């Protein structure tokens, strides 16, 4: 493992989104805040959530996690597809990177962007409503695991895609529906049995539910189960990513 | 005692003790894309310190070969190594020894010139490289653009940054894939001055170019690839000697209407008072030919002889009049 190579690629990937922070950080923070404003105002008192938790309070961790994971996905997928389409991927393929070095650099930068956006949403949310924190370690653990997992998924999508619209389709038809149907705006226990059962097959549900546990100390699923489900997803995607990077899937001409 | 061994890529005997060390080894490399055989069992060596030309028409397989060397594609069969390191099995050492200037002008639009070079240096694991980066910026006339975003550079400047990126980790072998395409004369000359300096300092240079006069001027040895096969691998002098010879240009004081019968097959141009005919190397005597033209009542006003260029040899070998 060449740590300097890995760190340099990580630094470059972080600077890539920092340099356009208006688009990569502020814009998603504002979007999340608008969701909070509109949904919080319209649905406050109309939707049953956890005992002793207002709807706006309930909504905040869901929106926060949704923004974190969507931006982690966007970071790796957009970086990969941009450099492929523009040809600058050659600067990454010519140096002697191992698959592991590339993986850690890309995922590390995605996690950093996810956390930066998360902090932005949290700061606005705290200003807007009273947000309890039951266990900060669990909040951080799930935020890192969620952005890691979606960063890995974004990397796979970026390697697979050959055009920008394929990434957009991946986001529109997979990432957005799965996040919206994962319990961001509601507790799955309030759903009819069939929909609640279906939601349990949605891996994004466990990210949101475990993350929410860190705030309220209560969740739809036992937090350990959510953690194990997420860890399994992260492990699976890590293995897939490393195999694809090792083979140079759609990067190095086979 | 040194034992002479056969070098199959050059079909000659070499002494393993005195033989020059190999910078690049290409051994039986084949690559197929569908029905197109891009490389067909290509083998040759490039020695340390050489200025080597890799020529061929468009689609001949040059860039495929360079991509295979750089690890950008995997070949179907054969092996490639750089400074003794296999490009697949020992890819770290192979790539550490290789700098490639890609054919296309590509850049990362987020960063400045200096940032671009610092990142590239770090990717290769080179620490504290500021001095060399400064020197590269200076040598390639980029010092005043060090803090300019890559997007704001002209095409020629972007090309210079690509050269700096290829050199930032101080590789032993530098591959220039058509580096002067679309580059103005001034930049081309300053670029060649710099590349010549690198060559003098011991770097192995591999050049592919569409400008055959550049290859003729710069390269010690030249390989010509056509349709995925290597059709020539010789020193520049030997390759030039393959030419038909030279061309005799004659201008008469009058319209030329009578030519000795034995010359007619060799006339390449006959317009008004101008005659051009090919000369066979080491066979024809210019003085004899001129005497016979005078004997055919031609009054000669001006005579010149132009030797065959690499381009003539290239066109003849590749049979591609419209190619490079």
From A98, which residue of chain B is nearest by alpha-carbon distance? Answer: B92
The reply to whether A254 falls in a domain is no
**Residue B5 located in a structural domain:** no
Task: Enter the pTM of the model.
Answer: 0.83
Provide the 3-class DSSP secondary structure of residue B20: coil
Domain count, chain A: 1
ipTM of the complex: 0.89
Same domain for B180 and B60? yes
Q: Is residue B69 part of a domain?
A: yes
Interatomic CA distance for residues B70 and B18, integer angstroms? 29
* B9 located within any domain: no
Statement to judge: residues B90 and B235 lie in one domain: yes
CATH code where residue B81 lies: 3.40.50.300
Domain shared by B218 and B81, yes or no: yes
Could you tell me if B91 and B33 lie in one domain? yes
**Chain B residues within an 8 Å CB radius of A87:** 102, 104, 106
Chain A nearest-CA distance from B188, in A, is: 23
- Record the tokens describing residue B54, joined without a space: 């890799």
- B311 part of a folded domain: yes
C-alpha atoms less than 13 angstroms from C-alpha of A10 in its C-beta half-sphere: 16
Taking contacts as CB-CB distances below 8 angstroms, the residues of chain A near B66 are none
User: Is A252 a domain residue?
Assistant: no
B175, B151: one domain: no
Range(s) of the domain holding residue A79: 3-247
- Shared domain for B37 and B162, answered yes or no, is no
Residue B253 lies in a domain: yes
Which residue in the set A5, A15, A94 is minimally distant from B100, CB to CB?
A: A94
Q: What's the number of domains chain B is made of? A: 3
Asked if residue A253 is part of any domain, the answer here is no
Determine, yes or no, domain membership for A220: yes
Both B251 and B312 in one domain: the answer is yes
Same domain, B114 and B217: no
Q: Looking at CA atoms only, how far is residue A244 from chain B in angstroms?
A: 14
Nearest to A5 among B108, B110, B125 (CB): B125
Whether residue A173 is contained in a domain is answered as: yes
Which two tokens mark A223?
A: 């937090």
Q: Which one of A2, A86, A91 makes the best mutation probe of the B interface by having the most chain B beta carbons within 10 Å?
A: A91
Question: Are B135 and B49 found together in one domain?
Answer: no
* Cβ–Cβ pairs < 8 A, chains A and B: 84
B255 and B228 in a single domain? The answer is no
Residues B24 and B129 in one domain: no
B121-145: pLDDT as tens digits: 999 999 889 999 999 999 888 999 9
Distance separating alpha carbons of residues B133 and B125, to the nearest angstrom: 14
Give the pLDDT confidence score for residue B2 in this predicted structure. Answer: 37
Report CB contact under 8 Å: B115, A9. Answer: no
Residue A85 falls within a domain, yes or no? yes
Considering the domain boundaries, does residue B324 fall inside one? no
Expressed in angstroms, the distance from the first to the final Cα of chain B is 47
* pLDDT tens sequence for chain A (254 residues): 889 999 999 999 999 999 999 999 999 999 998 998 888 887 777 777 777 788 888 999 999 999 999 999 999 999 999 999 999 999 999 999 999 999 999 999 999 999 999 999 999 998 888 889 999 999 999 999 999 999 999 999 999 999 999 999 999 999 998 988 888 888 887 888 888 888 888 999 999 999 999 999 988 889 999 999 999 999 999 999 999 999 999 998 75
Cα B254 from chain centroid (whole Å): 43
Q: What count of Cα atoms within 13 Å lies in the side-chain half-sphere of residue A240?
A: 17
Asked whether the beta carbons of residue A5 and residue B122 sit closer than 8 angstroms, the reply is yes
| Residues B139, B177 within the same domain | no
**A92 CB within 8 Å of a chain B CB:** yes
Host domain of residue B62: 20-97+171-187+195-241
């Amino acid at each position: 493992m060449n740590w300097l190579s890995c760190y340099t690629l990580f630094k470059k990937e972080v600077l890539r989104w920092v340099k356009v922070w208006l688009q990569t950080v502020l814009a998603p923070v504002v979007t999340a805040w608008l969701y909070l404003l509109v949904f919080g105002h319209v649905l406050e008192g109309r939707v049953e959530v956890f005992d002793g938790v207002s709807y706006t309070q309930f909504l905040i961790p869901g929106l926060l996690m949704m923004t974190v994971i969507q931006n982690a996905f966007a970071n790796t997928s957009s970086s990969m597809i941009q450099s492929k389409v523009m040809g600058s991927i050659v600067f990454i393929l010519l140096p002697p990177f191992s698959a592991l070095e590339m993986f850690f650099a890309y995922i590390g930068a995605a996690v950093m962007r996810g956390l930066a956006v998360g902090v932005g949403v949290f700061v606005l949310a705290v200003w807007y409503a009273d947000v309890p924190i039951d266990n900060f370690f669990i909040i951080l653990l799930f935020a890192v695991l969620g952005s890691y997992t979606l960063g890995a998924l974004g990397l796979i999508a970026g390697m697979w895609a050959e055009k920008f619209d394929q990434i957009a389709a991946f986001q529109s038809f997979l990432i957005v529906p799965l996040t919206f149907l994962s319990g961001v705006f509601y507790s799955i226990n309030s759903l009819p049995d069939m929909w609640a059962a279906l939601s349990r097959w949605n891996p994004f549900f466990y990210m949101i539910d475990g993350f929410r546990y860190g705030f309220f100390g209560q969740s739809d699923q036992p937090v350990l189960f959510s953690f194990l489900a997420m860890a399994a997803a992260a492990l699976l995607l890590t293995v897939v990513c490393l195999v694809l990077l090792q083979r140079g899937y759609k990067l190095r001409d086979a | 005692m040194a034992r002479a061994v056969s070098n199959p890529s050059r079909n000659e005997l070499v002494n393993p003790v005195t033989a020059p060390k190999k910078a690049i080894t290409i051994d039986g490399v084949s690559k197929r894309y569908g029905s197109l055989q891009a490389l067909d069992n290509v083998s040759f060596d490039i020695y340390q310190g050489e200025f080597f030309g890799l020529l061929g028409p468009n689609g001949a397989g040059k860039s495929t070969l360079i991509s295979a060397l750089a690890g950008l594609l995997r070949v179907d069969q054969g092996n490639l190594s750089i400074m003794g390191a296999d490009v697949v099995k020992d890819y770290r050492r192979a790539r550490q020894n290789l700098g490639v200037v890609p054919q296309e002008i590509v850049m990362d639009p987020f960063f400045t010139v200096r940032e671009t070079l610092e990142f590239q240096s770090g990717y290769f694991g080179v620490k504290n490289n500021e001095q060399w980066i400064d020197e590269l910026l200076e040598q390639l006339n980029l010092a005043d653009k060090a803090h300019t975003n890559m997007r704001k550079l002209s095409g020629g400047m972007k090309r210079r940054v690509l050269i700096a990126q290829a050199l930032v980790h101080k590789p032993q072998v530098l591959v220039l894939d058509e580096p002067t395409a679309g580059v103005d004369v001034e930049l081309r000359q300053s670029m060649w001055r710099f590349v010549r300096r690198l060559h003098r300092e011991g770097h192995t240079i591999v050049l592919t170019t569409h400008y055959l006069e550049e290859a003729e001027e710069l390269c010690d040895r030249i390989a010509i690839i056509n349709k995925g096969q290597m059709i020539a691998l010789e020193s520049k002098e030997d390759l030039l000697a393959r030419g038909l010879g030279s061309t005799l240009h004659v201008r008469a004081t009058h319209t030329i209407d009578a030519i000795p019968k034995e010359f007619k097959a060799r006339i390449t141009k006959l317009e008004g008072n101008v005659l051009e005919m090919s000369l066979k190397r080491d066979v024809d005597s210019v003085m004899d030919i001129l005497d016979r033209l005078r004997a055919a009542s031609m009054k000669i006003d001006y005579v010149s002889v132009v030797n065959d260029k690499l381009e003539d040899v290239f066109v003849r070998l590749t049979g591609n009049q419209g190619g490079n």
